């Protein structure tokens, strides 16, 4: 049926085109096909990432891994376009492409079903890549191949400047990317998004298939008589290096700002939008890229970026850091895309050019997303990429004489110095430095011995717990778990006498075990196996606790579904890291928590976060479940290594609600009018973003 629809569309289209200027009409149709394909391509990227994000603990590395797949699938699409246009005739090209378009419909509706949900968290990178390949691979490759294929077919009909359509495809991609968090996500749940995307893809198949059939018409085809000249290997290497550098810049800056600047989910949309903008301006806006201007801007941008990451302990406020990182990223990417455009071949070498670009993009993504976490103990890829950018600028300007050579040798040397400084800073006072899919972990011990010497766990630059080393002080709870914090008051004053059963989602250093009494049971749920190893080996809270301590590895929600014994207290402490596991804050999740609570039980949610107002979400979920919610806030006591913390206590227990200490420290929960309840199929983080926040040198959360 769809094959008939494609043929009917092509036949009707050909009759219409016979009445008008053929080349103009073909340009419009080609532009439409490219625009729609690019829009669908970048609509499915955040959709798919949002769908699988909860399955892998909400880690920001999920998005990085998805980008590795997207860049690799783009390479496959460009390779397919290159092979098809080089070795097949016009009719064969049309038939093969229409056949693959129809075959891709078998994967709809887009996105993995629940049966793809992983049972354990082992090797999540490969789990994600396999899942993406099986449930998204063919449609993504077909959409990726559309732009080079349509440009080639259009050039074959006499179009003199098909490269401008590459800018058009990136404009459509940008529109899709920005419309997702602003329009799509607030309006539609995941199921509706999958359905509408699948319908739009079906329409695209008809339109693209019709154009493919029309393109083989002998009356429309103008054979390219001149064979493309063999391209020098250095030129190909140059294209590859520029594309790889651009991809590395995208992923490394994304990693840095999501892990070290602001733990705001979907913040990764902004660097990707900058990436697309660089293609739009580099390939589609006349002489926007002027080498003399942009090389000067590049030197300034590299200097600002290097200064911003020179001291790994200093984190400026988001409103200060983001403009520097996003502006610097745009300048660096404009250098990469502008140099690519200046060195482009003629239309006969178009598919070769795009293929090499895609190969470089995939290589850069693989390096940052897969190789760097294995190769580097810390998050060094951003300073490394800045070095690579400076070296490429040196290569690009080598022919212009020694003054520029000396300048860029100096810039490259400075970037190398920043790289070395970052490596040394990560190792300074570090007892351990390890890294895996879930991020970089570092255990730092203060250099001066004494009764207040501490040992601290960092995730990136975010502090995840600390402990005094003095035997007299080792059992004192520090950081966000002071005795006057919300959780401290509950554990000290509001629970029944032992035996008490306490569940804790998020292990950190295991600080809460310090509140355990003989006969108590504390069960910690932790996704990252390296955190479990560190808490047991380098900190003392777990082994010195008077309570019986259990640690369960894996996603907390899946583990809690297997629990049958009720809790006196359930602590949710997983919302202060590099991403927010929203599947732990949905209506369905709270129904699970309520089932596991004793009638007098308490759910304590740690909502300390500079950038997200999580308390209104918790209150709404509590009220829907028939419980009251109170926010308890304590102040900094840095002399005793206690930080300000916000805890929301969900309970109907009068011993908690009427407690004098809790009343004293209670604060109003922010009002968020119109907040739509979060469910497993719908959540909107944009609604709870705090758009103005102060920064500090200590990045506590």
Q: How is 672-697 classified by DSSP, letter by letter? A: -TTPPPPBTTB--GGGGB------BS
pLDDT of residue 57: 64
* Segment holding 429, helix H or strand E: none
Beginning with the edge strand found earlier in the chain, give each strand of the sheet holding 462-468 in spatial order: 430-436, 439-445, 454-459, 462-468
For each of the domains in the chain, give its residue range(s) and CATH number, in order of start.
1-223 (1.20.1250), 231-428 (1.20.1250), 465-688 (3.40.50.150)
pLDDT at 501 over 90: yes
pLDDT at 18 over 60: no
Integer Cα distance of 604 and 601 in angstroms: 10
Residue 333: which of 394, 400, 251 has the closest Cα? 251
**194-235 pLDDT tens trace:** 888 988 998 888 888 877 777 765 444 444 444 556 667 888
Interior angle at CA 337, CA 331 and CA 339, nearest 5: 100
pLDDT of residue 248: 95
pLDDT of residue 555: 82
pLDDT at 678 over 70: yes
Q: Which two tokens stand for residue 140?
A: 């993504």
Integer Cα distance of 56 and 128 in angstroms: 9
pLDDT of residue 4: 46
Pick the more confident residue, 597 or 56.
597
pLDDT of residue 671: 79
The DSSP annotation for 186-252 comes to: HH--HHHHHHHHHHHHHHHHHHHHHHHHHHT-TTT-----SPPPPPPHHHHHHHHHHHHHHHHHHHH
Mean per-residue pLDDT for 451-477? 88
**157-202 pLDDT tens trace:** 666 555 666 677 878 888 888 888 788 878 888 888 888 898 899 8
| Rg, Å, the chain Cα set | 28
Q: To which residue do tokens 């096909």 refer?
A: 33
pLDDT of residue 516: 93
**How many helices (DSSP H) and strands (DSSP E) are in the chain?**
24, 12
Integer Cα distance of 661 and 291 in angstroms: 64
3-state secondary structure of 563: coil
Beginning with the edge strand found earlier in the chain, give each strand of the sheet holding 567-572 in spatial order: 548-553, 521-526, 501-505, 567-572, 597-606, 645-651, 628-634, 666-667
Of how many residues is the chain composed?
Answer: 701
Integer Cα distance of 553 and 373 in angstroms: 21
Q: To which residue do tokens 């995840």 refer?
A: 464
Interior angle at CA 54, CA 52 and CA 58, nearest 5: 110
pLDDT of residue 168: 75
Compute the half-sphere exposure of residue 409: CA atoms within 13 Å on the CB side of its CA. Answer: 7
**Confidence band of 694 (pLDDT split at 50, 70, 90):** very low
Classify the phi-psi angles of 260: left when phi > 0, otherwise alpha if psi is within -120 to 50, otherwise beta: alpha
pLDDT of residue 515: 94
pLDDT of residue 316: 63
Instruction: Answer whether 385's CB lies under 8 Å from 328's CB.
Output: no
Q: How high is the mean pLDDT of the chain?
A: 83
pLDDT of residue 318: 66
**564-616 pLDDT tens trace:** 899 999 999 887 654 567 788 889 999 999 999 999 999 999 988 777 888 99
- Positive or negative, the CA dihedral 134, 264, 279, 396 is negative
Q: Which two tokens stand for residue 316?
A: 């400026």
pLDDT of residue 695: 42
3-state secondary structure of 477: coil
The DSSP annotation for 24-91 comes to: HHHHHHHHHHHHHHHHHHHHHHHHHHHHHGGGGTT-THHHHHHHHHHHHHHHHHHHHHHHHHHHS-HH
Q: Which two tokens stand for residue 516?
A: 């355990």
Q: What percent of the chain has pLDDT over 70?
A: 86
Integer Cα distance of 568 and 575 in angstroms: 21
Tell me the pTM. 0.82
Mean per-residue pLDDT for 660-689? 83
Q: Which of 45-49, 344-348, 465-469 has the lowest mean pLDDT?
A: 344-348
* Segment holding 606, helix H or strand E: strand 597-606
**69-102 pLDDT tens trace:** 888 888 898 889 888 888 878 788 888 888 898 9
pLDDT at 389 over 50: yes
pLDDT at 528 over 80: yes
Q: Which two tokens stand for residue 1?
A: 């049926």
Name residues whose C-beta falls within 8 Å of residue 261's C-beta, 6 or more positions apart in sequence: 315, 316, 318, 321, 322, 325
pLDDT of residue 229: 60
pLDDT of residue 19: 46
pLDDT of residue 466: 93
**237-294 pLDDT tens trace:** 999 999 999 999 999 998 888 776 655 556 777 888 899 888 888 876 657 888 888 9
pLDDT of residue 230: 65
Q: Which two tokens stand for residue 615?
A: 């308390």
**287-329 pLDDT tens trace:** 788 888 899 999 999 999 998 888 777 666 667 778 899 999 9
pLDDT at 693 over 90: no
pLDDT at 8 over 70: no
Cis bond before residue 109 (omega within 30° of 0): yes
pLDDT of residue 330: 95
Give φ, ψ of 460 to 5 degrees: 70, -120
**What is the widest separation between alpha-carbon atoms in the chain?**
91
pLDDT of residue 449: 79
Q: What percent of the chain has pLDDT over 90?
A: 32
Name residues whose C-beta falls within 8 Å of residue 286's C-beta, 6 or more positions apart in sequence: none
pLDDT of residue 233: 85
Mean per-residue pLDDT for 451-480? 88
């Amino acid at each position: 049926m769809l094959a008939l629809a494609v043929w009917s569309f092509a036949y009707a289209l050909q009759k219409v085109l016979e009445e008008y200027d053929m080349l103009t009409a073909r340009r419009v149709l080609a532009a439409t096909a490219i625009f729609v394909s690019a829009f669908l391509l970048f609509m499915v990227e955040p959709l798919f990432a949002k769908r699988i994000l909860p399955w892998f603990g909400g880690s920001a590395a999920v998005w990085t891994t998805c980008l590795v797949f997207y860049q690799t699938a783009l390479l496959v699409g460009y390779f397919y376009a290159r092979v098809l246009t080089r070795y097949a005739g016009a009719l064969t090209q049309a038939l093969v492409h229409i056949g693959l378009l129809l075959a891709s419909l078998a994967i709809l509706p887009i996105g993995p079903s629940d049966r793809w949900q992983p049972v354990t968290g082992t090797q999540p990178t490969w789990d994600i890549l396999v899942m993406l390949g099986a449930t998204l691979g063919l449609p993504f490759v077909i959409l990726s191949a559309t732009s080079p294929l349509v440009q080639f077919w259009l050039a074959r009909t006499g179009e003199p400047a098909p490269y401008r359509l590459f800018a058009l495809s990136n404009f459509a991609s940008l529109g899709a990317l920005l419309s997702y968090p602003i329009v799509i996500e607030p309006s539609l749940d995941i199921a509706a998004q999958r359905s509408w995307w699948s319908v739009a893809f079906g329409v695209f198949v008809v339109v693209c298939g019709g154009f493919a059939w029309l393109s083989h018409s002998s009356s429309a085809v103008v054979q390219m008589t001149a064979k493309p000249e063999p391209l020098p290997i250095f030129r190909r290497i140059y294209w590859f290096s520029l594309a790889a550098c651009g991809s590395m810049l995208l992923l490394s800056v994304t990693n840095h700002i999501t892990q070290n600047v602001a733990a705001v989910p979907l913040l990764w949309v902004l660097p990707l939008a900058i990436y697309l903008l660089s293609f739009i301006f580099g390939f589609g806006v006349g002489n926007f890229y002027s080498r003399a201007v942009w090389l000067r801007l590049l030197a300034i941008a590299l200097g600002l970026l290097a200064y911003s990451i020179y001291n790994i302990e200093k984190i400026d406020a988001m409103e200060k850091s983001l403009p520097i990182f996003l502006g610097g990223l745009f300048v660096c990417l404009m250098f990469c895309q502008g140099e690519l455009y200046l060195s482009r071949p003629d239309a006969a070498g178009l598919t070769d050019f795009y293929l090499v670009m895609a190969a470089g993009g995939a290589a850069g993504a693989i390096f940052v997303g897969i190789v760097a976490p294995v190769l580097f103990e810390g998050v060094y890829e951003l300073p490394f990429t800045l070095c690579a950018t400076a070296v490429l600028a040196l290569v690009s300007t080598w022919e212009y004489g020694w003054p520029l050579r000396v300048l860029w040798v100096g810039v490259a040397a400075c970037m190398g110095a920043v790289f070395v400084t970052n490596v040394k800073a990560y190792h300074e006072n570090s007892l351990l430095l390890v890294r895996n899919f879930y991020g970089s972990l570092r255990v730092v011990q203060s250099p001066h011995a004494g009764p207040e010497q501490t040992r601290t766990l960092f995730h990136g630059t975010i502090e995840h717990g600390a402990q005094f080393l003095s035997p007299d002080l080792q059992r004192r709870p520090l950081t966000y778990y002071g005795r006057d914090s919300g959780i401290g008051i509950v554990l000290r004053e509001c629970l029944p006498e032992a035996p008490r059963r306490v569940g804790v989602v998020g292990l950190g250093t295991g600080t809460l075990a310090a509140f355990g009494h003989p006969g108590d049971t504390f069960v910690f749920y932790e996704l990252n196996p390296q955190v479990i190893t560190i808490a047991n080996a380098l900190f003392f809270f777990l082994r010195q606790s008077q309570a019986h301590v259990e640690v369960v590895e894996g996603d907390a929600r899946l583990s809690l579904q297997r629990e049958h014994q009720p809790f006196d207290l359930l602590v949710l402490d997983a919302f202060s890291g590099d991403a927010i596991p929203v599947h732990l804050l949905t209506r369905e999740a709270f129904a699970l928590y309520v089932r596991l609570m004793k009638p007098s039980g308490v759910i304590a949610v740690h909502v300390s976060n500079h950038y997200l107002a999580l308390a209104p979400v918790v209150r709404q979920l509590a009220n829907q479940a028939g419980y009251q919610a109170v926010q308890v806030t304590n102040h900094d006591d840095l002399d005793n290594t206690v930080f300000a913390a916000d805890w929301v206590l969900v309970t109907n227990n009068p011993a908690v609600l009427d407690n004098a200490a809790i009343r004293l420290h209670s604060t109003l929960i922010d009002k968020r009018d119109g907040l739509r309840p979060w469910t497993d199929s719908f959540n909107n983080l944009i609604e709870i973003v705090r758009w103005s926040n102060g920064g500090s040198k200590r990045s506590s959360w």
